[in-house]
Amino acid sequence: MPATARAARPAPASADAGGLEEARRLDGADPLARFRREFVVKDPRLIYLDGNSLGRLPRQAAPRLREATEREWGGRLIRGWGEGWFTASQRIGAKLAALIGGAPGDVVVSDSTSVNLFKLVVAALRARPGRRTVVTDEMNFPTDLYVLQGVIELLGRGHRLVVAKSEDGLTVSEETLARAIDADTALVTLSHTAYRSAFVHDMAAVTSLAHRAGALALWDLSHSIGAMPVELAAAEVDLAVGCTYKYVNGGPGAPAFLYVRRDLQESLANPVWGWFGRRDQFDMAPDYRPAPGILRFLVGTPPVLSLLAVEPGVDLLLEAGMDRVRTKSVAQTEYLVRLWERQLQPLGFTLNSPRDPARRGSHISLGHPEALRIDRALIDEMAVLPDFRYPDNLRLGIAPLYTSFADLHEAVARIARVVRDRRYERYPAERPTIT
């Protein structure tokens, strides 16, 4: 599906395949290399491979926040609402829309991904009365599964959650989904890129499966936006949500976004009736009436400082261009897979991500029975920050705007050192509360 995948394969491996020379050559030829300077890098020795959980701080974000606090909040006070705060959800939503193949007016920034998912799942199920199943897969993110269970319990209309199984623990085939979707399906909702394996669903094909059965399709783009081009309108997607603190670099807890296909906006209802989603909000009328268009999916006062901090990261992605970001991401995951093959597979690591770059997002999961303790040793003594995902995955996230090929080369050398020197053995095997 991502059309750039094939063309993006790096040049044939040289004699030094995966070596430092090759990393330097690839960095030298990288048209996005200059974007690394647009991020705050306090410790050049630290290799950051967790941009798929929390993106780095864009250099422009701190000055923007300083302006928003000191000049706008400090000086302009309540006037700030009329000078950009009130429309920021729409303005930044319009920019995000350009990253995911939507038009301005199809996307707003609001709430968290979990809450947006709740709003759109309820809206979708009510738009398909009489249909009783919600189809998802077992690779979906936990919060998505919980929200679906909670909505079904809340509505109390006997909906059933059908969780399609993965045959190999990494992917879920279209055939499996096709078997799960039928005339009783109200909604098909999936994470476009699976958080654990990085498997990427064929969005257009699965959306079309849903539509042929008369169901709606809702995609969680949290692990896709900012990592690859997404074409919501071309794929005729009905609904989408996603977060802005991963590859969009919006900051910890940054507000999320939601997308509703233009021709559905007027017929779907937000289940949370707040004043920001009301028509003519400042009439302060006693009864709720939905605002026109996408605005009805807003709820209450946005966290303005966090909202404004999202914009610099979005601007960098727009400037870089999602096709170029994807091309580099594919070249980097391919490079990392080659490094794994040569240096980490012999040390007991398995590749827990798809081989085919067209069906793979921007991280690589490596399985190892000691992944938890290896992760801790990397963080504590090797200045590498990957993350650990239960039960045995070391996730190496690649953010093409600031990850270099040399980073990947050095990270793999450090991972190999931790295993070869058995450094992980000094760490307890109990899982810390936060991973």
Ligand X SMILES: *Cc1c(COP(=O)(O)O)cnc(C)c1O
- Stretch of residues binding ligand X (CB under 6 A), selected from 220-228, 262-270, 280-288, 330-338: 220-228
Contact with ligand X (CB under 6 A): which of 35, 85, 195, 405?
A: 195
Report the C-alpha gap between 397 and 400 in whole angstroms. 10
CB of 371 to ligand X, least distance (A): 19
Looking at the Cβ atoms of 191 and 327, the one nearer to ligand X is: 191
State the amino acid at position 7 in one-letter form: A
Contact status, residue 198 vs residue 363, Cβ threshold 8 Å = yes
Please name which of 383, 367, 369 lies closest in space to residue 417, comparing C-alpha atoms: 383
Which tokens hold the place of 353?
């991500």
Q: What are the DSSP calls for 189-209, one per residue? A: EEESB-TTT-BB--HHHHHHH
Please name which of 99, 130, 70, 106 lies closest in space to residue 322, comparing C-alpha atoms: 99
Looking at the Cβ atoms of 112 and 176, the one nearer to ligand X is: 112
Please name which of 219, 243, 336 lies closest in space to residue 51, comparing C-alpha atoms: 243
Size of the site for ligand X (CB under 6 A): 13
Looking at the Cβ atoms of 112 and 173, the one nearer to ligand X is: 112
Contact with ligand X (CB under 6 A): which of 38, 50, 137, 144?
A: 144
- Stretch of residues binding ligand X (CB under 6 A), selected from 177-185, 218-226, 312-320, 372-380: 218-226
Chain positions 244 to 273 lying near ligand X, rule: CB under 6 A, are 256
CB of 298 to ligand X, least distance (A): 16
Question: Strand, helix or coil at 289?
Answer: coil
- Is residue 166 within the footprint of ligand X (CB under 6 A)? no
Chain positions 90 to 119 lying near ligand X, rule: CB under 6 A, are 112-114
CB of 238 to ligand X, least distance (A): 17
Looking at the Cβ atoms of 114 and 345, the one nearer to ligand X is: 114
β-pair type (387-389, 393-397): antiparallel
Contact with ligand X (CB under 6 A): which of 152, 188, 228, 243?
A: 243
CB of 240 to ligand X, least distance (A): 11
Strand-pairing partners, residue 364, are: 396
Name the one residue in this structure whose structure tokens are 């950009």. 84
Gap between the terminal Cα atoms of the chain = 32
Looking at the Cβ atoms of 254 and 412, the one nearer to ligand X is: 254
Contact with ligand X (CB under 6 A): which of 48, 85, 141, 340?
A: 141
Please name which of 219, 1, 237, 256 lies closest in space to residue 101, comparing C-alpha atoms: 237
Looking at the Cβ atoms of 256 and 336, the one nearer to ligand X is: 256
- Is residue 389 within the footprint of ligand X (CB under 6 A)? no
Which tokens hold the place of 93?
């939503």
Contact status, residue 298 vs residue 89, Cβ threshold 8 Å = yes
Q: How many CA atoms lie within 13 A of 267 on its CB side?
A: 11
CB of 311 to ligand X, least distance (A): 18
Contact with ligand X (CB under 6 A): which of 36, 223, 328, 359?
A: 223
Report the C-alpha gap between 86 and 63 in whole angstroms. 20
- Is residue 199 within the footprint of ligand X (CB under 6 A)? no
Catalytically annotated residues: 141, 220, 245-246, 395
Chain positions contacting ligand X, by CB under 6 A: 112-114, 141, 143-144, 191, 195, 220, 222-223, 243, 256
